[in-house]
Structure 1
Amino acid sequence: MSHYFAKCSTYMYQHRYMDFLLAHYLELKLPYSFSTTLSYISSPLLMAGGAMLCFDDEDEVAGAFGYIHGTGEHDYEDRHVIQLQVAFIVHEQRRSRIFIEGLQFLVEQLDEYADEEPVQEIRFWALSEEANHRLFSKIAKQVTSMIGEEGELNAYVVQLAELRSYLASFERDSRMKEKHGKVESS
């Protein structure tokens, strides 16, 4: 199954981003009230940041990623840090490479604006679940945990250079498969 990514740089894409995430609100499993969740998922559109969508081969939204520059604890002045506010992929697509390709697209976007807004670090929070930890510990280091009313969250941090290096291994794998004729269209 093929897919492609698009920045949410127009009102139409921004509208699809919000519609998609709100339609999947329960699946997001964010341990916050609806109003807090709404502020997190909309912040990439309202603050300095970025949002992107992943579309499947039928031009249906299959995933959404959003980030902001800076952290609340530093009044968003630490702009060398981005926080992933949301990274959601529909269940049917989770076994595909969309997450990795989404991260590759994110790094490309960050590189595109590196002269204006150089990023060195990416941070994100995730529910403290074994499956999440197995996935996210491959790309980032867990730095802390927080227990709130709605559940436990783990904080992860990765340096952009380290993420770039990790993602490069997937590009090498793809080139090797192409060389040996084992690539499916994506």
Structure 2
Amino acid sequence: MHYIHRPCELEMDHSAYMKFLLSNYDQLRSPYSFPMTLSFIASPLILGQAWLIFSEEEYECVGAFSVVFGTGERNYEDREICQLSVAYLQPEVRRTPLFARTMHLLLQRLEHLNPEIKELHVWTARNSDEQRLLTKLSRLDGATRRATDGDLELYALPFHSLKMYSQSLNPDR
């Protein structure tokens, strides 16, 4: 099966993005309250940093991802840091080459949006389903994993290491 990765540029894209993520809200298993999660989902739309993934045959949405450049701690002026706001693929497509292709395209787009990017931050709840993948990524050269006082962990992943890892997956095969 082939997939289309499309930036959310039009009002209909914004609507499809919000509808898709809200209809899958329980599967997102966000460690945050609903209002906070809603802000993480919606804010990248305003900045033009959200994408949808559609199956080519049925043209059905199977995934979405979005980012924000900068951190709240530094008033979003530290744009060399990019935070992954949302990354969600429907369970039936997670174990396909779609993940590798999406990662590759995301990294390309991030570099295009901000050539100065140095690090990708991913926040997750401890003991989440994402732990296995993020633990693997935390082994990349220069990556760090930090626990917070609460139930969250921050994975700081060097952009150049992520690019090398993504290229090793060879998503275009």
Q: 2:8 maps to which residue?
A: 8
Report Cα offsets for 1:95-151 as digits up to 9, x if no partner: 112222211111111232345xx2111001112126422211222344212354xxx
Contact 2:144–2:157 (CA under 8 A) maintained in structure 1: no
Q: How many residues align?
A: 168
Contact 1:49–1:68 (CA under 8 A) maintained in structure 2: no
Q: 1:139 maps to which residue?
A: 137
Bigger mean CA offset, 18-27 vs 122-131: 122-131
Which secondary structure does the structure 2 equivalent of 1:58 belong to? Answer: coil
Structure 2's unaligned 5+ residue stretches are none
Which secondary structure does the structure 1 equivalent of 2:117 belong to? Answer: coil
Contact 1:144–1:156 (CA under 8 A) maintained in structure 2: yes
* 1:1-186 equivalent positions in 2, closer than 5 A: 1-46=1-46, 48=47, 50-56=49-55, 57-114=57-114, 118-129=116-127, 131-140=129-138, 141-148=143-150, 152-171=151-170, 175=173
- Name the CA distance, whole Å, in 1 between partners of 2:108 and 2:2: 19
Contact 1:68–1:85 (CA under 8 A) maintained in structure 2: yes
What TM-score do the two structures reach when normalised by structure 2? 0.88
- Name the CA distance, whole Å, in 2 between partners of 1:95 and 1:22: 23
The amino acid of 1:123's aligned partner reads: H
What TM-score do the two structures reach when normalised by structure 1? 0.82
- Name the CA distance, whole Å, in 1 between partners of 2:7 and 2:108: 11
Which secondary structure does the structure 1 equivalent of 2:95 belong to? Answer: coil
Larger Rg: 1
1:162 Cα offset (Å): 0.6
Bigger mean CA offset, 24-33 vs 135-144: 135-144
Contact 2:9–2:48 (CA under 8 A) maintained in structure 1: no
Contact 1:49–1:69 (CA under 8 A) maintained in structure 2: no
Which secondary structure does the structure 2 equivalent of 1:111 belong to? Answer: helix
